[in-house]
Amino acid sequence: MDGQKLLYIETFGCQMNVSDSEKIATLLQECDYHPTSDVSRANLIILNTCSVRAKAEQKVYHYLDRFKRAKREKQQLLLAVGGCVAQQEGERLLERVPWLDLVFGTHNLHLLPEMVRAAERGERRAEVRFIDNDIRLDLFPRGDEGRGISRFVTVMQGCDNFCSYCIVPYVRGREISRRSTEVIAEIRSAVATGTKEVTLLGQNVNSYGLKSQDEVSYPQLLREISAIDGLERIRFTTSHPKDISPELIACFAELPKVCGHIHLPAQAGSDRVLARMNRGYTRAQYLEKVAALKAARSDILITGDMIVGFPGETEDDFCETLSLMEEVRYADLFSFAYSVRPGTSAAALADDISRIEKQERLSRLQALQRTLTLECNRRFVGTVLRVLVEGPSKRGDQLFGRTDGNRGVNFTADRSIIGSMVDVRIVRAFQNSLLGELS
């Protein structure tokens, strides 16, 4: 196109990064960069990175190697790394990768337009300073067409929990809550342009507001968001089990817009491992919270994260993870082999479970989860569920939507119903989705 500059963003990691990438795209419109999905046409390539496990970090270096040639062939191409690997490595990345132009940390998104202009003049820069005030959280993502039916809204960032295996507190900094007035304003303006569902984002959403005297509590924030006319559904992630309060549980019972799904990572089923992970709860306490959630909302679906092969995890410990899964009956579970992260307290422990053993435990865990997921999905066959229609299905010949419990449903209907809530009768259950028909 005639002189227009094109921006290609590759996003790794969690929803926070997905949301940050939307903000980056909005910010860079200011210096005339427009998004493209064709990397070969890009004038600026940004890798928005994740360092939660070693594999995620290595991926970044593979991508950087891949773009080395492109940089040689296209003189004016700019290459930038943002996100959690950028935060972790900072200036070192510029030294290690001589063809890299820019490094920006997780607190420095707002500096990007200025940094890109400097890079256009040939300046190489790394900005990874932590900025511990809430102003930087106020970057509204693009409010335009198409992707607006369901939106992410950041309510807090950072983490103070320091689970012993986890790098997130080091790369995202301390917990900071965004002002509730800003959160409400963003949701109101999204709803005005067609948004029906919001997913509130934070590394630990349920500690929202706890650190500031004059901010509302998380349950109160949910009540205020619930009162927004035109908004149909509220989701949030991630919740930390230790911060699930009776007031929050009551929201699931009392606020119809709060969806019947919670992502509540346990990480392990054995008290010995939970203590060594510094998770701040026991198996019994976790199960008490699950029971209270199910009592408040009998149809609530629970998903989670689990780590296998944490230092010192015995076969007995691992079997407790499996038995916890059976007790909770997770609808879905993300599971990971333990990966040592530099600077975390667990890095001082011997990584004594072999790669093969970790892999074997992971396979056993995933086999069990497949049966639990299928069991969960099969329960819906024959029932009618309310579905928010998000768009065409992956294969393109049907429509795709989500149930209140966050199950994906494919069904045949006219595209004109995209963006609305419809009743769908479930006719078949698969591992990863449900098949339905308009009821």
Q: Which listed option, ligand F3S, ligand SF4, ligand SAH, none, makes contact with residue 336 (CB within 5 to 8 Å by class)?
A: ligand SAH
Cβ atoms of 180 and 215 closer than 8 Å: yes
State the Cα torsion 59-60-62-68 to the nearest 10°. 170
Q: What tokens appear for 45 in the block?
A: 């390539």
How far, in Å, are 2, 39, 71 from residue 8 at the CA level? Answer: 17, 6, 14
Q: Was 319 annotated as part of a binding site?
A: no
Q: Structure tokens of 166?
A: 């986890």
- Which of 27, 50, 187, 387 touches ligand F3S by CB under 6 A? 50
Among 168, 376, 389, 434, binds ligand SAH (CB under 6 A): 168
Residue 169 binds which one of ligand SF4, ligand SAH, ligand F3S, none, with CB within 5 to 8 A depending on kind? ligand SF4
Tell me the closest approach of the beta carbon of residue 169 to ligand SAH, in angstroms. 9
x-marked contacts with ligand F3S along 7-36 as a string, rule CB under 6 A: ------xx-xx-------------------
Q: How far apart are CA 39 and CA 68, in angstroms?
A: 13
Q: Is 251 annotated among the ligand-binding residues?
A: no
Residues 259-288 that bind ligand SAH (CB under 6 A): 265, 267
- Pick what 13 binds: ligand SF4, ligand F3S, ligand SAH, none; C-beta below 5 to 8 Å, kind-dependent: ligand F3S
Sheet holding 332-337, edge to edge: 261-263, 301-308, 332-337
Residue 166 assigned as binding residue = yes
Q: Compute the Cα dihedral for 412, 416, 418, 420 and give only its sign.
A: negative
Query: Rounded to whole angstroms, how far apart are CA atoms 79 and 95?
Result: 14
Residue 259: strand, helix, or coil: coil
Cis status, amide bond into 238, omega within 30 of 0: yes
Which of residues 64, 166, 333, 376 is near ligand SF4 by CB under 6 A? 166
Q: Is 163 in the site for ligand SF4 (CB under 6 A)?
A: yes
For residue 425, give every residue at least 6 positions away whose Cβ sits within 8 Å of its Cβ, in sequence order, or none: 382, 383, 384, 436, 437, 438, 439
Rounded to a whole number of angstroms, the minimum distance from the CB of residue 13 to ligand F3S is: 3
- Which of 372, 375, 279 is CA-nearest to residue 324? 372
Task: With beta carbons less than 8 A apart as the criterion, state whether 209 and 253 touch.
Answer: no
Among 164, 180, 238, 303, binds ligand SAH (CB under 6 A): 238
CA 264/CA 235 separation, integer angstroms: 13
Answer for which of 148, 169, 405, 436 binds ligand SF4 (CB under 6 A) is 169
Phi/psi for 265 (5° steps) reads: -65, 130
> Do the Cβ atoms of 304 and 334 come closer than 8 Å?
yes
Contacting ligand SAH within 333-372 (CB under 6 A): 336, 338-339, 341
Q: Does 5 bind ligand F3S (CB under 6 A)?
A: no
Stretch that binds ligand SF4, among 56-64, 140-148, 162-170, 194-202 (CB under 6 A): 162-170
Shortest Cβ 358–ligand F3S spacing (Å): 19
Interaction mask 62-91, ligand F3S, x per CB under 6 A? ---------------------xx-------
Does residue 304 touch ligand SF4 according to CB under 6 A? Answer: no
Q: Which residues bind ligand SAH (CB under 6 A)?
A: 52-53, 165-166, 168, 203-204, 238, 240, 265, 267, 305, 307, 336, 338-339, 341
- Known binding-site residues equal 14, 50, 84, 159, 163, 166
Q: Which residues bind ligand F3S (CB under 6 A)?
A: 13-14, 16-17, 50-52, 83-84, 168, 171-172
